[in-house]
Structures are given as structure tokens and as C-alpha cells.
Amino acid sequence: MTHGQALNPHVAVVTRFAPSPTGRLHAGHGASAIAAHDFARSRGGRFVLRIEDIDGTRSRREHVDAILADLRWLGLTWDGPVLFQSQHLAAYDAALDTLRDKRLLYPCFCTRKEIAREVAESMAAPHHGPDGPVYPGTCRSLTPEARAAGIATRPHCWRLDMAKASVLAGPLEWTDHGQGVRADPQAHGDVVLARKDAPASYHLAVTIDDAAQGVSDIIRGKDLYPATHVHRLLQALLGLPVPRYHHHALVTDARGERLAKRNGAPSLESLRLAGTDGAAVAAELRAGRVPLGIADTTP
Ligand code: GLU
């Protein structure tokens, strides 16, 4: 049985910012990047960058360029080369093989529609996880023949057999702001680790890459707190080091809603191109204030 290894406290601090280039950054992203950057710099550590472009259909090079320009404009510097997930696919494949060898993965042929129908028709009350109803496990019990036939002919993703994986890993903990948290990955059900349309899911890629980049401390928004339970389990299954986590509150607008494009939050790029002083914007975000022009997104 493998448990993730406890992090050596003497290892230098390494933090990261890991945006998905599926849109432009807003002030919430900026605040998160600054928090991770400052955490490392104030401890003599390294700050690394990763572009989470695993989603080939939604990721765009123009977003990558804007993201890098925005970070520079905020006055942030990063260490070493930027890791692009699209160039790290072999590592995800190897991890999937490891998990397959442990018989912890199964192919799933269900469409979204089929899953929704199954959940709706389920006699038992559907089990809700942090991301909505959990997968009802339809494909978990397929025969080896049905699996083999499906793999050859039908689109499929690969899911983690959560119950099996949790038993194999045993009880797990992680820390958030230094507080011990008992991992509860089961609430997520059989999560997808390799998507139909992408070679790895967020959960798998983020866990592998945080280890690959030697990240000691993960500073990111509270919206990703629930996902950490799954990441902790994957660390144990793959024998990866366990970073310390520091989830932070999300930046909200004048209405108290979290910043998002759909809520009308302006992009950092629009401020940059309008000639706004990036250092001044960064100073406001460091002070926990939402800079003028960002705070008021009332239509
Ligand atoms: N790529 C994710 C996002 O942009 C962040 C991943 C993470 O910080 O773990 O939402």
C-alpha cells in the first residue's frame, strides 16, 4: 500500500499559479497569483507557473499570451520555464497505467444524458457530491468482455473506483492553513481521471504536476477546497509528496458575488490596455481591496 510521503519541512518553499487559458484573467485570478507569489517570495522560495491547457477545445494561445502579460503588468516574476500541461501528456498516461495496473480504473461509456436519466430514475435518493450528483456507477460492473468491446468501439472516459481506491489508501489527512483535515474523497464518487475529450482530467493533471514542479505550498481559491480530498487520495495512490494547502476566500464584487466573466467582471487585460497602473492594482489587491473599476460591476 502506498501513502503519499509527508513533505520535508526543510525543503524550500515552492508555490505556483496554474490558470486555465480558457478566458482572460480577472481580479480574482490576480489576487490568487499575487498571494501565491508573495507567499514564496517572503520566504525566499520559488514561484512557478503552469498553464492548465489540457482542455484542447477551450484553451487558446491568445489567452496564454494575455495571462503572461497580465502577470508581468502586476509586477510578478516567476522561476524556471512555464509548464504547459499539453506538453506533459506522457506523465498522465504513465499515472493512468499505474492505476490501471492496480485495478482501480474502469472505462465508462455513459453519456451525460444517460447519467442524468440514471440519476433521475434511481430508486435510492441520488447522492450529491461537491460537483453535483455523483456518478451512479453504471459501468463499474460491466464484464471484462463488455469493457473490451466498448473500448474498441465507443467513446469512453476512465473513472476511479473510489470505494476500492479508498480502501487501498486507508485513512488520509491533509492540512489547510496548518489545520489537519481528514480526507473524504468518497463524497465525490467515481471521479473521471481521463476524459473522453482530453487525455487527463483536472484532478489527475493537477496532482501530478504539483508534484512534478516540486510545489510545497498550494495557494488557491476556496472553490477548489473540495477537490483537494480527491487530490490527496491520488497522491497516496501514486506515491507523491503531499503539499501544504492554503485555500483563500474568493474576491467578490459590489453585490457580494464572486468575480466571473458572466457576472461582468472586467478582465485584467482591459485595465492593462486602458493604461491602468498594474503596480497600483497589485497594491490594492494586496491590501484586500478590489481596485476601482472592478468593485462596481453593477450593470
Ligand atoms: N486551473 C485551475 C483554474 O484555473 C486552477 C487549478 C488549481 O489551482 O489547482 O481554475
Helix (H) or strand (E) run with residue 146 in it: helix 144-153
Residues 6+ positions from 94 with CB-CB distance below 8 Å:
none
| Residue pointed to by grid coordinates 472592478 | 294
> Measured in angstroms, how far is the CA atom of residue 120 from the centroid of ligand 1?
31
> Measured in angstroms, how far is the CA atom of residue 232 from the centroid of ligand 1?
16
Low-confidence ranges of the chain (pLDDT < 50): 1-2, 296-299
Cβ of 99 closer than 6 Å to ligand 1, yes or no, is: no
Residue 105 pLDDT? 98
For residue range 164-186, list pLDDT tens digits in order: 999 999 999 999 999 999 999 99
Cβ of 259 closer than 6 Å to ligand 1, yes or no, is: no
Residue 216 pLDDT? 98
Which protein residue has the closest C-alpha to ligand 1 atom 6?
Answer: 18
Q: Pocket of ligand 1, candidates 50, 176, 202: which has the most ligand atoms within 8 Å of its Cβ, to mutate?
A: 202
Q: Pocket of ligand 1, candidates 51, 207, 224, 259: which has the most ligand atoms within 8 Å of its Cβ, to mutate?
A: 224
Computed on alpha carbons and rounded to an integer, the radius of gyration of the chain in Å comes to: 20
Residue 258 pLDDT? 83
pTM: 0.92
Q: Which is nearest to 225 in space by CA: 177, 286, 163, 274?
A: 177
Cβ of 227 closer than 6 Å to ligand 1, yes or no, is: no
For residue range 132-145, list pLDDT tens digits in order: 889 999 999 999 99
| Domain segments of the chain as ranges | 5-286
The answer to whether the beta carbons of residues 142 and 202 sit under 8 Å apart is no
> Measured in angstroms, how far is the CA atom of residue 248 from the centroid of ligand 1?
13
Helix axes 278-286, 27-41, angle to 10 degrees: 80
Domain 5-286 has CATH 3.30.2350.10: no
